[in-house]
Amino acid sequence: MAGIGGFAGATVKDAIRYGVARGLYSNDAGTGYGMIAHASAITDHPVRQASWGWGEVFLDTIVVCSVTALSLITTNVYVTHPGVTSARLTTVAFGIVYGQFGKYFMALAITVFAWTTIIGMYYSCEKSVNYVFGDTKRNKIFTKIYMLYYLVPCVFLYNVQANTLWAMTDILSGIYVIVTMVFIYTKQGEIMRLFKDFWDRYLPLKEKGEDVPPVVYGNDQIYVKKE
């Protein structure tokens, strides 16, 4: 009984551990990438834009990851193809059900997802570099340095083992989550002030048809964007 209990506990632990890790990788929830992407949007209030954050998490994890998992489970490819791992296993699963079309479709989808991920990650980190150095000459220099730093692994480390990449990704995701939590904790006053302003003042006035000036983050007195 002790052995069965230990095995069941270890199974649940690994399921939670890898589920959380892959979920973070899928939708970047809590890592700060979403905040950078939403910060570039043109909006009348930060909370309005933030309210759309649930969509990317739902689509990436609940929809895409669930379809991936169900395709592997229903086709049983993780048992019939033990030597195949990672994204190739999903390609095999779609190939079993849809034939050659399924293989080509999945290969194209993975390529597009990978390309957009590379672009999105680069954009997010570049904006961080821009924020640190501001509108200065050093910003242009360090942006080029970061570009090289970002591209070198993409070009030369493309054949690294998947387990190694996952380990590196999990470590970096954990670091990003810690940094994001620190930011949220230190800025909680401003965050809650904006939250209450949107629901208690801004949105009711908008619904009444009044012309309310746009609101921006970072002003403790009034949230009016100066033209």
Question: Residue range 77-85: average pLDDT?
Answer: 88
CA–CA distances in Å: residue 186 to residues 37, 59, 109, 223 = 21, 30, 40, 20
- Average of pLDDT values for 82-100? 89
The residue among 49, 41, 29, 28 whose CA lies nearest residue 117 is 28
Q: What is the pLDDT of residue 172?
A: 85
Judged by DSSP in three states, 210 sits in coil
Query: What predicted TM-score, i.e. pTM, was given to this entire model?
Result: 0.74
The Cα–Cα gap between 37 and 43 comes to 13
Query: Residues 32, 176: contact at Cβ < 8 Å?
Result: yes
pLDDT exceeds cutoff 60 at 98? yes
CB-based contacts of 61, cutoff 8 Å, min separation 6: 23, 26, 27, 29
Write down the pLDDT at residue 227.
43
User: Using one digit for the tens of pLDDT, what is the confidence trace for 102-135?
Assistant: 999 998 998 998 888 888 888 888 988 998 898 8
Count, in order, helices (H) and strands (E) of the chain.
Answer: 11, 0
Residue closest to 88 by CA, chosen among 72, 65, 112: 72
pLDDT tens, 166-190? 888 888 888 888 989 998 999 898 8
Q: Which helix (H) or strand (E) is 6 found in, with range?
A: helix 2-27
Residues 6+ apart with CB under 8 A from 30: 24, 176, 177, 180, 181
Residue 88's nearest CA partner among 70, 68, 74, 73 is: 68
Q: Which residue has the higher pLDDT, 13 or 92?
A: 92
